Amino acid sequence: MLKTSFFPRKLSSVPIVNARGVGPIHIKASRTKMELSITRPDDWHLHLRDGELLEAVVPHSSYHFGRAIIMPNLKPPITTTSAAVAYRQSILKALPENSDFTPLMTLYLTDTTSPSEIKLARESGVVFAVKLYPAGATTNSQDGVTDLFGKCLPVLEEMVKQNMPLLVHGEVTSPDVDVFDREKVFIDTVLSPLIQKFPQLKVVMEHITTKDAADFVESCDEGFVAATVTPQHLVLNRNSLFQGGLQPHNYCLPVLKREIHRQAIVSAVTSGSKRFFLGTDSAPHERSKKECPCGCAGIYNSPVALSVYAKVFEQAGALDKLEAFTSFNGPDFYGLPRNTSKIKLSKTPWKVPRSFSFTWGDIVPMFAGETLEWLPSPL
């Protein structure tokens, strides 16, 4: 667990009405410090892996977040309800003592997933969504869907009946399409036709990276199409892959895009729109699997995510909208209750560890060794 501490000072309280108008975000300010009290956030897109890696990273997420949508792209993938139940038990077993973190499980959609499996998933009470990976799109996606409209229509119809959200990795995988254009092409050729065919299907476009995606989500019916947004796609652009040499720890999929896209996503997220919510896509890999001739895609950001989001909203002059993005929009879309506990974000500089070391290797976090400005802690 990331451990930090600070000494609070006596500060004046200034209430600011939040983006939902449901109560004040309590902000304390002085010449040296600012504090925000917000409803405990959830992470609507998280990779916890399994085995030793799971045990290493779950304390960071459980420290900051109340719940998380857990991605199913393990080896082998989580394709059945029974496998999701077993994986959930592994996560609960790995949690720190007295943690109340709740993993929300997902199924990995394949060409052979059956409608009956969707019914089982809904009846289980622990599976909350189904994840679409186009085959070959990202880490452990080789078992993903090869023909969505040809092989998965009965499953999609059942998902509408069960009100089960489809979580979409929004990239085509054709080698003829430039890697920086794969999200836009996916919207045009897959996502838009899908929504037209199933207008009552709840869809989350995961980890959006382009202006095209932000505009598309805004154009859809509210309550049926939404998007998660990662810390990295809010603060990094594709230059971050190459500045000072190749930067493997900034490599993720979907890959970072041009600055104009980053700015568009920041504008969408900080606008107060209910269609966007927090999803870190935190994706840990052992250092040797990142710093190698064929490095894995994924940024480990769980220890720093809330600090980064707070900075983005502060710079946009939108701290009053931060709580809705981190804590309200996600559960509202999924039809789940909002958390009742609170966390505190203090304007207190803290240094990110250069790595987290274990007997089997190191994990390098996002912004390793750098100083961040916002420090989250439970209340």
Distance CA 72, CA 125 (A): 16
The four Cα atoms 254, 243, 311, 215 give a dihedral, to 10 degrees, of -40
Q: For residue 171, is pLDDT > 70?
A: yes
Q: Minimal CA–CA distance to 220: which of 253, 198, 248?
A: 198
Query: Do residues 165 and 202 make contact, with C-beta atoms less than 8 angstroms apart?
Result: yes
> What is the number of other CB atoms lying within 10 angstroms of the CB of residue 238?
16
List residues with catalytic annotation: 45, 47, 131, 169, 207, 281
- Provide mean pLDDT across the span 344-358: 97
Predicted confidence at residue 375, as pLDDT, reads 97
Check if the beta carbon of residue 213 is closer than 8 Å to that of residue 254. no
The two structure tokens encoding residue 100: 């109340």
Q: Can you tell me the mean pLDDT for 362-369?
A: 98
Angle at 308 (CA atoms; ends 305, 314), nearest 5 degrees? 140
Is the pLDDT at 28 greater than 80? The verdict is no
- Helix ranges (DSSP H) in 198-258: 211-219, 231-235
Residue 186 predicted with pLDDT over 50: yes
pLDDT of 147 reads 93
Going by pLDDT thresholds of 50, 70 and 90, the confidence category of residue 132 is very high
Crossing angle (nearest 10°) for helices 81-94 and 115-124 = 30
Which residue shows structure tokens 């994986």? 87
338-348 pLDDT per residue, tens: 999 999 999 99
C-alpha to C-alpha distance for 41 and 25, rounded to whole angstroms: 14
Average pLDDT over residues 316-337: 98
Range in 29-33, 262-266, 295-299 the model is least confident about: 29-33
**Under 8 Å CB-to-CB from 168, ≥6 apart: which residues?**
132, 191, 203, 204, 205, 206
Task: Determine what percent of the chain is predicted with pLDDT higher than 70.
Answer: 92
pLDDT of 32: 58
Whether the predicted pLDDT of 206 surpasses 70: yes
The model scores a pTM over 0.85: yes
pLDDT band, residue 142 (cuts 50/70/90): confident
- State residue 10's pLDDT score: 29
When pLDDT is cut at 50, 70 and 90, the band that residue 139 belongs to is: confident
- Digit-coded pLDDT (tens) for 270-287: 999 999 999 999 999 999
C-alpha–C-alpha distance, residues 242 and 245, integer Å: 5
